[in-house]
Amino acid sequence: MLKSFRAVFGDRTFSEASTPLYIVATDFETGETLALKEGRIVDALRSSVAIPFIWPAWPHDGHLLIDGAASNPLPVDVAIREGADIILALGFQSPLPQRVKSVSRYAFYINSLMTNNLLNSNFAFHNAVHHAEIIAVFPDFQQSIRLFDTHLIPYVIECGEQAMRAQLDYVKRLLQA
């Protein structure tokens, strides 16, 4: 995975991004959420995708970091804090396997349930208390897509485009206001 990331991002840093970029990870020790905005992008990505049990935590800037989903699966709060008031939010429920066949799958399964519940409650909170316009772009997948179904990526992108197209007029109107 690291090799693939490096092939795309090399040694690029956050300062090279044409729009400000923030990547969310979780402090493995405390469970707190961190928005990374400096250093090599590869390091931030590697931290943010460190799915519990699958990839090891990643040391970064004095913290041991894991998957951002453990604290903040859809980090609209970071955008709000950084001053955005029109937010396109792409969120996904973690897919749940039909059957649990081993102790490690069980642990993974429970983590997926908790990620989904955390997503729901965080999203409800940010929607309720902030005055930003949060536009949920939640694609409607007609088939079940598991975490590593890479062969379905063209379909996933297509669904994303459809979901976005449905919101486009509204976004244009907001941006003109």
Partner 1 sequence: MSMHNRFSVVIGSGGVLCAAALGLSKALRREGLMPGMAVGCSGGSIYAATIALGLEPEEAERHTLKLFTSDVFEGYTSNLKSALAGETRFTETSSLIDDSIMLERLTAVFGNKTFEDTIFPLYIVATELYTGERVVISSGRIVDAIRASIAIPLIFSAWRVGDHLLVDGAVCDPLPLDVAIQQGSDVIAAVGFEMPTRRRMNSYTAVTTHFNSLYMNNILKSTFAFYNAVHHAEIIPILPDFEKPVGTFDTSQIPYIIEQGEKAAAQHIPYIKQLVAVP
**Is 122 an interacting residue with respect to partner 1 (CB under 8 A)?**
yes
Task: Report the nearest approach of partner 1 to the CB of residue 8 (Å).
Answer: 29
Select from 5-13, 17-25, 42-50, 101-109 the region that touches partner 1 (CB under 8 A).
101-109
C-alpha torsion sign, points 63, 68, 71, 74: positive
Interface with partner 1, residue 147, by CB under 8 A? no
Number of residues lying near partner 1 (CB under 8 A): 37
Nearer to partner 1 by Cβ, of 16 and 32: the residue is 32
Specify the 3-state DSSP secondary structure of 63: strand
The one-character DSSP state at 92 is -
63-67/33-36 β-pairing: unpaired
Q: Which of 84, 92, 116, 136 binds partner 1 (CB under 8 A)?
A: 116
> Does the protein bind partner 1 through residue 106 (CB under 8 A)?
yes
CB of residue 54 to partner 1, shortest distance in Å = 12
Q: Does 26 bind partner 1 (CB under 8 A)?
A: yes
H-type helices in the chain, by residue range? Answer: 2-9, 41-48, 76-81, 103-129, 153-176
Nearest distance, CB of residue 85 and partner 1, angstroms: 18
- Cα-based distances in Å from 88 to 37, 141, 160, 170: 20, 18, 12, 11
Distance CA 132, CA 85 (A): 4
Whichever of 73 and 139 has its CB closer to partner 1, that residue is 73
110 binds partner 1 (CB under 8 A): yes
Indicate whether 121 belongs to the interface with partner 1 (CB under 8 A): yes
| Residue keyed to tokens 């930003």 | 132
- Our finding on whether 62 is near partner 1 (CB under 8 A) is no
